Amino acid sequence: MSRDLLLKIELLSDPKALYVVRGAVGRLAETLGFAAAECRSVVRAVDEALTNVMRHCYCGRLDQPIELYFRRLHRRSKAGRQKGLEVLLCDRGPAVDQAKLRGQKPGELRPGGLGLQFIRQAMDAVDYERVGHTNRLRLVKYLPSEKVHRGHEERS
Amino acid sequence: MQISIRRVNNATIVDVSGDIDLANSPEMRKALLHEVRDDRKPRVVLNLSQVRYIDSSGVASLVEGLKASRDSGSRFILVGLSGAAREVLQLSRLVKVFEIYDTEVEALAV
């Protein structure tokens, strides 16, 4: 699997930035070839992940750092060659209690926990790790497979 | 996001437009709970036809409005769901939980 950095965004934990980030992520997903519904899914996942950081890791403080890295992914599988988008979201809040990462059951009538459900529905992979003093949430979305033909060079 | 409130007969109609996210969903929540809980309006109709985006905090505000209306014995109705609003309610599987109509006329007639 290879990764090329496409975009890096640094922002503060002010919810007013969400609107701007959604715009950028939507355009990026579009240029990578995602269909309209998939673009909306990626935008929703990133927006909900940022919202969780702002609310739960930084407890509503507006001046805390968040970094987003967007990388192009390539992988080969039995189905063929797949391109995708990896989003790495980094914050400096306290470590996340993984027991709280379960989210809400679909159809459950209570406010809260929906964001994680939306993220899991939207993405192909969602991984969390703590590295030093940083929380890292990794989101991955793949495009549909392309068949690999002999003699064709893989292009990025 | 913009919110405006109208009175039609015994109903309150809350028109919301734009993006509903963490930056402004508390404002929508406050407006909805004021109408349902404080003013005890018998019917609160939320018009979502001009909503371009709604996140989980926005959906949570709708759930709170619905719960408050059940507590106070009033009706909480969603009307004219935009594509974005309908998609999010379907993802959360809450479409059947809310009373939803296509038009304001239908919402006021029932």
Closest C-alpha to A126, from A58, A29, A12, A41: A41
Radius of gyration of chain A (CA): 16
Question: Which ipTM score applies to this complex?
Answer: 0.93
* Nearest beta carbon to residue A111 from set B21, B60, B91: B60
DSSP A40-88: HHHHHHHHHHHHHIIIIISTT-SS-EEEEEEEEEEEEETTEEEEEEEEE
The minimum CA-CA distance between B9 and chain A, rounded to whole Å, is 30
The minimum CA-CA distance between A40 and chain B, rounded to whole Å, is 9
For residue A153, what pLDDT is reported? 41
Average pLDDT, integer, range A19-33: 98
For residue A102, what pLDDT is reported? 64
A80 CB within 8 Å of a chain B CB = no
Q: Express each pLDDT in A88-141 by its tens digit.
A: 999 999 998 877 766 666 666 666 689 999 999 999 999 999 999 999 999 999
The band of A81, judged by pLDDT with boundaries at 50, 70 and 90, is: confident
A154 pLDDT exceeds 50? no
For residue A104, what pLDDT is reported? 62
Q: Express each pLDDT in B21-69 by its tens digit.
A: 999 999 999 999 999 998 888 999 999 999 999 999 999 999 999 999 9
A69 pLDDT exceeds 70? yes
